[in-house]
Amino acid sequence: MRSIIYLAIGIFFGIVLFKSEAASWFRIYEMFQFGSFHMYGIIGSAVGIGIIVIQLIKRYNVKSFYGEHITVAPKDRSFTRYMVGGIIFGLGWALAGACPGPMFVLLGAGYAPIAVVILSSIMGTFLYGIVKDKLPH
C-alpha cells in the first residue's frame, strides 16, 4: 500500500517537473543567464510556501498521517563542504542541464543520452565515497 503512495507521489512530481520545464536543459541555461523569471519563480514560490508549511507544522506540532512526529533533521554545521560541494554540483547542473530529479524525468520522457549522465552521476557519487575521508568537511 505504502509503495503505491510513494509511486503516486513520484509520478506527480515527475509530471510537475516536466510540465514546468524545470527539467529542460534550456531553462537551466536561461536561469544562469538571468534571461527569465521562470525558474526563479518556481524555486522561489516552492520555498516561500515550503517555509510557511514547515513553520505551521512546527507551531501546531502536526503529526504525519501515521501519527508520527515530523522532524526535519538539521544538517551538520560546516561551511567548506556546503560551499565547495555546492560549487561542484552547480558546475555539473549547468553543464548537464539537469539535477537528480529531472534526470529521472528525462529518462522516462525518452531522452536516451540522459542515461549517460545518470550513470556518471552514480560514478561521481561512488568517487565521493572513496575520497570522502581525505576531503575537508
Partner 1 sequence: MNWIYDPWPWYVSGPLIALVMFLLLMIGKRFGMSSNLRTMCTICGAGKTSDFFKFDWKAQRWNLIVALGVMIGGFIANNFLSTDTSVDLNPSVITDLQAKGFESAGQAYMPNLLFSNDVFSDPKGLLLLVIGGLLVGFGARYAGGCTSGHAISGLSDLQLPSLIAVVGFFIGGLVMIHFIFPLIF
Of residues 27-46, those binding partner 1 (CB under 8 A): 27-33, 35-46
Q: Which of 43, 52, 44 is nearest to 22 (CA)?
A: 43
Q: Does 134 bind partner 1 (CB under 8 A)?
A: no
Total residues contacting partner 1 by CB under 8 A comes to 114
| Sign of the alpha-carbon dihedral angle for 40, 41, 46, 48 | positive
Q: Does 68 bind partner 1 (CB under 8 A)?
A: yes
Residue with cell 510540465: 19
Q: Does 60 bind partner 1 (CB under 8 A)?
A: no
Binding partner 1 by CB under 8 A: which of 59, 60, 61, 130? 130
- The minimum distance between CB 26 and partner 1, in angstroms, equals 5
- The minimum distance between CB 131 and partner 1, in angstroms, equals 9
How many Å apart are CA 43 and CA 27, to the nearest integer?
13
C-beta separation of 98 from 22 below 8 A: no
Q: Does 132 bind partner 1 (CB under 8 A)?
A: yes
Q: Does 59 bind partner 1 (CB under 8 A)?
A: no
Site string for partner 1, 84-113 (x = CB under 8 A): xxxxxxxxxxxxxxxxxx-xxxxxxxxxxx
Distance of CA 69 to the CA centre of its chain: 24
How many Å apart are CA 122 and CA 133, to the nearest integer?
19
Q: Does 1 bind partner 1 (CB under 8 A)?
A: no
C-alpha dihedral over 32, 121, 11, 42, to 10 degrees? -20
Q: Does 6 bind partner 1 (CB under 8 A)?
A: yes
